[in-house]
Amino acid sequence: MNRITRRTLLGAWLLLLTSLAFAQDVKRDVKLTILHTNDTHGHLLPFSYPDVVEANSMVSLVKVRRNIGGVARRATLVKRIKAETKHTTLVVDCGDICDGTPFSTEYFGSADIAAMNAIGYDLATPGNHEYNNTPAQVRKMIAEAKFPLLSANSTVKGTKDLVYKPYVIKEIDGVKIAFLGLMTYDARTYPAAKEAFEMEPPIETAKRLVPELRKQADIIIALTHIGVEEDIELAAAVPQIDVIVGGHSHTLVPKPVLVPRPTDLRPYSVRGAVIVQAHQWGGSLGKLDLTFHKEPADSWTVSKYNGVLLPITSALAEDPETAAVVAKYWEPIKGKFGAEIGKADSDFTEIGDNQAEYNLVADAVREQMGVEFAIENQGGVRAPIVRGVITYGDMVTVDPFGNTIVTFKATGKQIKAILARNRPAVSGIRYVYERGELKEATINGKPFEDDKIYSGATNNYFARFALEGIEDKTDTKKPRLETVVAYIKAKGTIKPSYDGRRIVKMR
């Protein structure tokens, strides 16, 4: 072979390699599947919702409501999907893993971390309820997790030291993807934060950090615990973010929400930020399929997406490894929390303005404390009660916070101001609040007298802000949970009250 022939062949070979490389770069797709959960709140075992739920509520969108969830069943589904998917699959959680069941009151998040380790979670963002623990327990959970916990907006008080890793960058088939963690600013009001940590508003953190991340990564995915409404605000305020996997608002998002990015005119781009969230308690597993696309001399972008919520039902067998982890934590406490304390003849749930589970707690506190009325803050009763046997563990799920009862005396004028300001659940009181004004308010069937003094009770959390300015108050140190349990035991069988005692019309 002469020199000219060699040169010709070498030139042709180099031209072929260049053409192949160019052709690869002309049209290149990379796929990623994200399996996601949020707001599981210690629900490691299966649970049930009431059969009858309010129309248009989040729970009304749940097709199977009895015997759903369970972390061992979730593990089976996760492992099945990972085995069937040829491209990379990541498992992530978006906060509030604990604070809601006996697992949380006994193990303070450690049981949840152990179960997540067994499933093989890759990443997670903590939620505000993780800060309902002590700072030491927060650090313990970080150490126990075999996956990074991410939050860029939580620092150690008095320093600039981050409590968690702010982000991680993973390279997946040549695409550098930054996963950024953001917690709700509300976490600053929780015990661990008050004692040891500080919070920066999440959108401000993202505005500061994302431009720097964009220099290091092709795609930015935010794992947030800020709520779907603030997720939408985040997408608009920081358009460099491509995907938001969220939590905090317990929103059931059946299909991904796309927040448009008007400046992106590329025909192969989805031209916006994709937002998903998977409701609560591990009743479903979110599955988000993403395709990233790159054109020559252009950056990577999300070109396709598809998201679904996969129900966790009894049709899924339990993964043995994860079930063994759950059993390790459940068996020592099963005798206490599995004990029957009474029965419910019907579901206790919310229907319109009627909040049967709140009414139960308020009625129990009023009767057990021997006061004229009781008030309970919205958000302080955490779960419905389904008909049938009630266990002690069920009541911990209803009242997981360890609140104590505060008794107090206040004038009719002060009580009406509390009703107007806070719109609480009540017992012994009936009231109507309409369009910013307290229209009616009675106690034991009679209108309040402004100067008359009445005896009441509430929980110590609500008392801190609802009873401001009221001097005659005493923390009895009596746990609200035990008070409600004693009430149910005394009744034997309880019936829900849907009596219209609290009517609130905001519009």
19-25 CB contacts, 8 Å cutoff, 24+ apart: 22/296, 25/294, 25/296
Q: Give me 101's structure tokens.
A: 């069941």
Name residues whose C-beta falls within 8 Å of residue 38's C-beta, 6 or more positions apart in sequence: 93, 94, 95, 96, 127, 225, 246, 247, 248, 250, 277, 278, 279, 280
Integer Cα distance of 293 and 175 in angstroms? 10
Could you report how far apart the first and last alpha carbons of the chain are, in Å? 90
Contact status, residue 44 vs residue 327, Cβ threshold 8 Å: no
Region of 444 please: left (phi>0), alpha (psi -120 to 50) or beta. left
Mean pLDDT by 10 residues, the chain (507 residues): 48 44 61 98 97 89 95 98 97 98 98 98 98 98 98 97 98 98 98 98 98 97 98 98 98 98 94 98 98 95 98 98 98 98 96 95 98 97 96 97 97 98 98 96 97 98 96 98 98 97 92
Query: How many residues make up the chain in this entry?
Result: 507
What confidence score (pLDDT) does residue 12 get?
43
What confidence score (pLDDT) does residue 27 get?
52
What confidence score (pLDDT) does residue 25 get?
47
What confidence score (pLDDT) does residue 36 get?
99
Beta strands in 312-372 (DSSP E): 340-344, 350-351, 354-355
On the 0-12 / 13-18 / 19+ scale of CB atoms within 10 A, 442 is middle
Integer Cα distance of 311 and 66 in angstroms? 12
Q: Give me 57's structure tokens.
A: 């509520």
Query: How far is Cα of residue 61 from the mean position of the Cα atoms in its chain?
Result: 17
The HSE-up count of residue 336 (CA atoms within 13 Å, CB side) is 11
Name residues whose C-beta falls within 8 Å of residue 176's C-beta, 6 or more positions apart in sequence: 169, 170, 216, 217, 218, 219
Q: Which domains does the chain have, with CATH numbers?
A: 25-329 (3.60.21.10), 338-505 (3.90.780.10)
CA distances from 202 to 89, 144, 180, 215, 363 (A): 27, 25, 11, 20, 39
Region of 120 please: left (phi>0), alpha (psi -120 to 50) or beta. left
Q: Which amino acid is at 43?
A: H
Integer Cα distance of 213 and 215 in angstroms? 5
